[in-house]
Chains A and B, each alone.
Chain A
Amino acid sequence: MSRFQPLKVTAVQKTIRDAVVVTLEPENGDLEFIQGQYLTFRRDFEGEELRRSYSICAGLDDGKLQVGIKRVEGGAFSTWANEDLKAGDVVEAMPPMGNFHTDITPSEGKSYLGFAGGSGITPVLSILKTVLKREPLSTFTLVYANRGIATIMFREELEDLKNLYLGRFNVIHILESDAQDVELFQGLVTKDKCGELFKGWIDVAAVDVAFICGPEPMMLGIAEALREHGLKDDQVKFELFASGQPGRAKRKATSKSAASRDAMTTTRVTLDGASREFQMPKDGQTLLEAALEADVDAPFACKAGVCSTCRAKVLEGEVEMIANHALEDYEVAQGYVLTCQCYPLSDTLVVDYDQ
């Protein structure tokens, strides 16, 4: 179950045109994080709870907690953070999460390679700052892709880090639109571009660990290039920012049919894009059992209301959920149920496993 703690906003720094760096302080006690991790915030927008995750951009030794939030077109949370969030506000966040890091080994000198695209710089920045400080023998090469000079987040900070860690930190800026002195540094970071970079600019054979955070096509291309140049699966770490869910969840549909005394319910279940309709009794069989009997390959595991594998969304109708040990209040508010625990109350029911 999620535990949220309040964080006070102590500063909101507008950096490039549509991104802010937010400095946060826990109201109670300390907040420990590992480099590369992210925070999940929650906030009500027009009566609906939204949760969004943003990577911590601070290093472990920065002495502060900071996240970078870039405005996404039509994004409720990122727009609010860029326009309305200010020092003194209190936001709620879950403890830091994420596996986008490797162990710090101060006595070893490792060769790190980082690829960041746009706002993907945030976790990579946290990692490189931490690694350069805590592994004095290690080196870090960053390939940072952006549309143009004006869209480079943390441009000055990266310059400062280059001067601070002279010889150990190298940044290669690749710009999509703006012309660069070195022609290779213009365009998109693709598999082929990586191949070219590995020829003269990056000693890929010496690389111990690669971190990649950027748009999906970029990540796929880089991964393939690294694989072709000898890096193993466990040497390459990805962080994907994409969400598996649509931006704003639809409001839970108001039920068209209230609970009634008819013995049977007409139920329609959607799974993998296909819908099946069947009759089920109001008593004696859960929604999951009825779906399985109707040859729907519905997902399930514990059948005890504990694992949430059987989660689905009720789009129409009403159900009674006997036990719920896994879903959070905000999921239930959106219409999600544990189908292994549900009995129908209404005469018609529409349930979707695809949402």
Chain B
Amino acid sequence: MSETMSIESYLADGGKLSAPGNAPPRYRAELLRLMASFVDSELAGAAGFADMINAGPGIKERIAASKIVLEKTDNADKVLQIMGEFGANTARYANHHPWSDRLPRDAELAAKRAKGDMRLAVFNYPLSGWSDAVTMNLLMGLAVDEQLKDLGKVSYQPLAETFRKIAPIEKRHAELALEGLEHLTKQGTPKSELQAAVDYWWPRVDQSFGAGKSARFERLKTWGLRHVENQKLRADWQAAAAAALNGLGLDVPQ
């Protein structure tokens, strides 16, 4: 009963932490970094999609876009509250960066994040009309689906539970995107227009899976903050995205 083990060995053996007080300083920092990346991506994604509400071709589309904006913002808040338990100033965090900021559409393809926020680089690129938005939502939605499968296993239990609650909500957004594209195809949107959107977003979404093996990944793995390697997540996404595109009569870019 008196035997204890170091938190590091406990985590390496698959142990879970349950409160901020359990977290050693480096674990805390990497956990905050991981959470900030999710929060910033959700807020940036929602901000970009907010512009699209008015671009929806019909009422149902406007409703779908509004629902996506509301739910992504709410998902960001769920994780932001946990950051708050670690000391982040949540009220100020929500506004510390203009989430709708974007680079030019033709800005260089780079995996670097913008200064001052942790959104995945894909969210630095602007949407260009309704079909473009729906296509991006499909490809990125399928990517988020894979990423949340990994994040749902994090060793910080309250965050794992939150990600598990968020996953079906995000999955529904990807389904709405697929339905949206099916509808656009039926309505006569030229395939070339949709394919151009696919060609633009595919490499940018692909990049959001990060580099191959890295020292940081190994460390995060021993702490239970990551479980599945970037390459595997990427491969799983590529397969799911290819299947979805082919079903719509669209091609995976070379």
In this complex, what residue of A is CB-closest to B80? Answer: A307
The reply to whether the CB of A53 lies closer than 8 angstroms to some CB of chain B is yes
Segment 44-76 of B: residues with Cβ below 8 Å from A: none
Which of B87-95, B171-179, B189-197, B202-210 makes up part of the contact surface? B87-95
Residue from the list A97, A146, A353 in contact with B1, Cβ < 8 A: A146
Residue-wise, chain A 305-349 has the 8 Å CB interface mask toward B (1 for contact) of 011111100000000000001111001000000000000000000
Residue from the list A100, A176, A302 in contact with B18, Cβ < 8 A: A100
The reply to whether the CB of A7 lies closer than 8 angstroms to some CB of chain B is no
- A220–B14 touching, CB < 8 Å: yes
Give the residues in chain A near B160, CB-CB below 8 Å.
233
The reply to whether the CB of B85 lies closer than 8 angstroms to some CB of chain A is yes
The reply to whether the CB of A259 lies closer than 8 angstroms to some CB of chain B is no
Give the residues in chain A near B93, CB-CB below 8 Å.
302, 306-307
Q: State whether A301 and B33 are in contact (beta carbons under 8 Å apart), knowing that A216-B4, A237-B157 are contacts in the complex.
A: yes
Give the residues in chain B near A156, CB-CB below 8 Å.
none
Q: Min CB distance, A302 to chain B, in Å?
A: 5
The reply to whether the CB of A198 lies closer than 8 angstroms to some CB of chain B is no
Which of A272, A301, A306, A327: most chain B Cβ within 10 A? A301
Which of A128-136, A242-250, A275-283 makes up part of the contact surface? A242-250
Give the residues in chain B near A53, CB-CB below 8 Å.
19, 21
Q: Min CB distance, A275 to chain B, in Å?
A: 14
Q: State whether A97 and B19 are in contact (beta carbons under 8 Å apart), knowing that A237-B157, A306-B92 are contacts in the complex.
A: yes
Residue from the list A215, A234, A242 in contact with B161, Cβ < 8 A: A234
Count chain B residues whose beta carbon lies closer than 8 angstroms to a beta carbon of A: 51
Q: State whether A304 and B116 are in contact (beta carbons under 8 Å apart), knowing that A220-B10, A326-B87 are contacts in the complex.
A: yes
Q: Min CB distance, A67 to chain B, in Å?
A: 15
- A240–B19 touching, CB < 8 Å: yes
Residue-wise, chain A 221-243 has the 8 Å CB interface mask toward B (1 for contact) of 00110000000011001111011
The reply to whether the CB of B108 lies closer than 8 angstroms to some CB of chain A is no
The reply to whether the CB of A193 lies closer than 8 angstroms to some CB of chain B is no
Give the residues in chain A near B32, CB-CB below 8 Å.
299, 301, 307-309
The reply to whether the CB of B158 lies closer than 8 angstroms to some CB of chain A is yes
Segment 81-113 of B: residues with Cβ below 8 Å from A: 83, 85-89, 92-93, 96-97
- A176–B92 touching, CB < 8 Å: no
Q: State whether A306 and B33 are in contact (beta carbons under 8 Å apart), knowing that A99-B158, A216-B4, A244-B23 are contacts in the complex.
A: no
Q: State whether A145 and B21 are in contact (beta carbons under 8 Å apart), knowing that A97-B85, A216-B10, A237-B157 are contacts in the complex.
A: no
Give the residues in chain A near B85, CB-CB below 8 Å.
97
In the complex the two chains form, what is the Cα distance from A299 to B2 in whole Å?
A: 34
Q: Min CB distance, A190 to chain B, in Å?
A: 11
Residue from the list A146, A309, A325 in contact with B92, Cβ < 8 A: A325
The reply to whether the CB of A168 lies closer than 8 angstroms to some CB of chain B is no
The reply to whether the CB of B29 lies closer than 8 angstroms to some CB of chain A is yes
Give the residues in chain B near A304, CB-CB below 8 Å.
92, 96-97, 116
- B25–A306 touching, CB < 8 Å: no
- B219–A272 touching, CB < 8 Å: yes
In this complex, what residue of B is CB-closest to A355? Answer: B25
In the complex the two chains form, what is the Cα distance from A325 to B87 in whole Å?
A: 9
Give the residues in chain A near B24, CB-CB below 8 Å.
244-245
Q: Min CB distance, B123 to chain A, in Å?
A: 15
Count chain A residues whose beta carbon lies closer than 8 angstroms to a beta carbon of B: 57
Q: Min CB distance, A334 to chain B, in Å?
A: 12
- A215–B3 touching, CB < 8 Å: yes
- A117–B1 touching, CB < 8 Å: yes
- A242–B157 touching, CB < 8 Å: no
In the complex the two chains form, what is the Cα distance from A326 to B88 in whole Å?
A: 5
The reply to whether the CB of B126 lies closer than 8 angstroms to some CB of chain A is no
Residue from the list B22, B27, B33, B97 in contact with A243, Cβ < 8 A: B22
In this complex, what residue of B is CB-closest to A216? Answer: B10
Give the residues in chain B near A272, CB-CB below 8 Å.
26, 219
- A219–B87 touching, CB < 8 Å: no
Residue-wise, chain A 112-124 has the 8 Å CB interface mask toward B (1 for contact) of 0000011000000
Q: State whether A98 and B19 are in contact (beta carbons under 8 Å apart), knowing that A307-B89, A309-B29 are contacts in the complex.
A: yes
The reply to whether the CB of A217 lies closer than 8 angstroms to some CB of chain B is yes
Give the residues in chain B near A147, CB-CB below 8 Å.
1-2
List 7 tightest A-B contacts by C-beta distance, closest first. Answer: A301-B36, A299-B29, A244-B24, A309-B32, A216-B10, A308-B87, A307-B88
Show 29 A/B contacts (Cβ-Cβ < 8 Å), sorted by A. Answer: A97-B85, A98-B19, A99-B161, A145-B1, A147-B1, A176-B1, A188-B1, A237-B18, A238-B157, A240-B16, A243-B22, A271-B26, A299-B29, A301-B36, A302-B36, A302-B97, A302-B117, A304-B92, A306-B92, A306-B93, A307-B36, A307-B88, A307-B93, A309-B32, A325-B89, A326-B87, A326-B88, A326-B89, A353-B25
Beyond contacts A188-B1, A233-B160, A244-B23: 10 other A-B pairs, Cβ-Cβ < 8 A, are A40-B21, A117-B1, A216-B5, A224-B14, A238-B15, A299-B32, A300-B33, A302-B36, A302-B116, A311-B29
